Amino acid sequence: MVKLGLIALINKPFIGHHDWNGVFYSNIARNYLRLGLVKTGLGQVTDFGVVTQPQGFYTHYPPLLTLIMAGWFKIFGVGDWQARMVALMFTLGSLLVLVRLFNYLKFKPWAVLAGLAVGLTPMWRYFSLMPSQEALIVFFSLLSVLAFLKQQKRLFYLSVVLNGLSGWAGYWLYPWLFLLNKRRSWLIKAGLILAVIFLAHLAHTYFLTGSIIGGGLLEALLLRLNVTPPPEFTWWNYLILERQRLTAFYTLTLLAVAAVSTVWKRERLVLALLGWGLSYPLIFSNVVFVHDYFNIFFIPYLAVAAAYLFKRSKPVLVIAFCLLVFWERNHFYQALTVTNSFQSGYELGWQINQIVPESETAYVVGSDEFLESQNLFVSYYGDRKIIYLNDVRSLPNEAKYVFNLDK
C-alpha cells in the first residue's frame, strides 16, 4: 500500500509539488469551524489567523470540498493528514466505482485489473492525497456514468447535483454521454440541473460580495479561457508540454494501450470518456498549462480503454502490463514524493505559531521572491495575523514580533 503512494505521503506537511491546494483549502475549512456556517454565510473565507469578521471570499468554486473538510476536521481535528484523508477517501471511492463499472460491463477479473492499473500511475499515486475539487469531480463523474448505464435515476441525478457542487470540470462530462444514444432526457435534465447550480453559485457570490462576479470570478474565467494568454503560452509549446506531462504522469505504456483500444475497439463509452478528458485541456488551456494535475480527468478514459483491450487477455499479459505501468515512471513518482519547495514557508510559519501569541501581530520582512511564493504557507502554519514587508524601514514603531529574513 505504501508503494502505491496512498499512505506514504499521509503525514507529510504541505511543502511539496502543488501543495498550495492543501494549505489554501484547509484554511477555508478551518475558518468554517471557527466562524460557523451562519457567520460565513457558507462562503469560503480566505482570511488567515484569528478571524472575527470575514473579509475575503473564494468564489471560483462551489464550497462542497471545503465543507466536507470542515466536517472531517470537526471529527478528527485540523491537520495535514486529516486533510489528505479527505482526498484519499474519494480516490478509493473512485477505484471502487470503477470496479462496479467493470462488473456491469461484464469484464473478467484480469480485465478489471488492467483497468485499475491507472492507480499505479504517478498521476493518481501522487495526487490521490492532494485536497482539491478534482478528487470529488472524478468520483462523482464516474458515479454518474455508472448510474446512467445501470438506469439508476435517483443515483444519477444525485451524482449530477454533487458533481455540480464540486466544481466546473464535471459539467463537461454530460454532453459527451449523448454518444451512448441512451436516455437523452436524463442528460437534458442534468444540463438544466447544472445550469441552476451555476446560477445559484452566482447568486451566492452576489450575497457574499455584492457582485455576481465578486472575488475575481470573471477575471479567473477569462484567464482560464486563455482570452489574455501569458507571453510564454503558445499552442505549440502547450502541446509539447502536454505530451511530456501525459507520458510522465500516465506512462507511455498506458497511453499506448488506451490508444490501441480506442482505435481497435471503437467503444462509445471509451470515446465519450476520451472526449471528457480532452474537454478541459482544450477549453481551459491556461489552467492546464499552469497546473499539470488538471490532466487527471483522463483517468476514467484510460481505465475503461485499458479494460476493454484486455477483455479476453491472458493473465500473464495483464500482469506484465501492470508491472510496466508501475515501473516505467516510478523514479519520477519517487521524486515527486520528496519535493519540498515550500519547506521554508512551513518552518517559518511554525516558528511564528510557537513564538507569537494568538492576539498579537507578526511582521515578516523579506524579498518579493520569498514572500510571493511562501506567504500562503507562512500564513497557514503561522495561524496568526501576519503583515509582510519588503523593507525593514517600513516597520511601525510598535512592531513587537519581527522576523527579518534579510538578516
Do 290 and 143 share a structural domain?
yes
Q: Average model confidence (pLDDT) for the chain?
A: 94
Same domain, 138 and 258: yes
**pLDDT at residue 247 above 60?**
yes
Q: Assess contact for 253 and 324: CB atoms under 8 A.
A: yes
Q: Are residues 363 and 239 in the same domain?
A: no
Condensed to tens digits (0 to 9), the pLDDT of residues 355-367 reads: 999 989 999 999 9
Residues 227 and 166 in one domain: yes
Q: Which amino acid is it at 399?
A: A
Assigned domain for 48 exists: no
* Strand-pair category, 44-45 with 57-58: antiparallel
Q: Is the pLDDT reported for residue 2 higher than 70? A: no
Same domain, 370 and 233: no
Q: Are residues 172 and 219 in the same domain?
A: yes
Boundary-marking domain end, from 337, 359, 375: 337
The CA-based dihedral angle spanning residues 5, 310, 274, 132, taken in that order and rounded to the nearest 10 degrees: -20
Residues 277 and 392 in one domain: no
CB distance 107 to 307 below 8 Å: yes
Helices 315-328 and 252-265 pack at an angle, to 10 degrees, of: 140
Q: Which of 337, 360, 391 finishes a domain?
A: 337
Domain extent at residue 362? 343-404
Query: Is position 208 within any domain?
Result: yes
The pLDDT-based confidence of 246 (bands split at 50, 70, 90) is very high
**Distance (Å, whole) CA 186 – CA 191:** 9
Please say whether the beta carbons of 293 and 132 come within 8 A. Answer: yes
Q: Average pLDDT for residues 202-213, to the nearest whole number?
A: 95
Residue 263 CB neighbours (<10 A): 8
pLDDT digits (tens, 9 = 90+) for 167-176: 999 999 999 9
Whether 95 maps to a domain, the answer reads yes
Give the integer Cα–Cα distance in Å for 18 and 107: 36
Q: What percent of the chain has pLDDT over 70?
A: 98
399 and 287, same domain (yes or no): no
Identify the pLDDT of residue 8: 59
Q: Are residues 259 and 363 in the same domain?
A: no
- CB neighbour list of residue 40: distance below 8 Å, 6 or more residues apart: 31, 32, 54
CA distances from 102 to 109, 110, 264, 266, 320 (A): 9, 11, 19, 17, 20
Q: Which of 337, 362, 384 represents a domain boundary (last residue)?
A: 337
Determine the pLDDT at residue 50: 85
Q: Is residue 3 part of a domain?
A: no
**Whether the predicted pLDDT of 79 surpasses 50:** yes
Question: Within this chain, do residues 269 and 397 fall inside the same structural domain, yes or no?
Answer: no
* Residue 309 near residue 321, CB atoms below 8 Å: no
Residue 262 lies in a domain: yes
Residue 9 lies in a domain: no
The answer to whether residue 53 is domain-embedded is no
Number of domains in the chain: 2
Does pLDDT of 118 surpass 80? yes
pTM of this prediction?
A: 0.94
Considering the domain architecture, whether residues 197 and 324 belong to the same structural domain is answered as yes
Regarding whether 226 and 144 lie in a shared domain, the answer is: yes
User: What angle separates helix 80-104 from helix 299-309, to the nearest 10 degrees?
Assistant: 40
Q: Which three cell numbers stand for residue 222?
A: 477569462
Query: Is 253 a domain residue?
Result: yes
pLDDT higher than threshold 80 for residue 3? no
- Does residue 4 register a pLDDT over 50? no
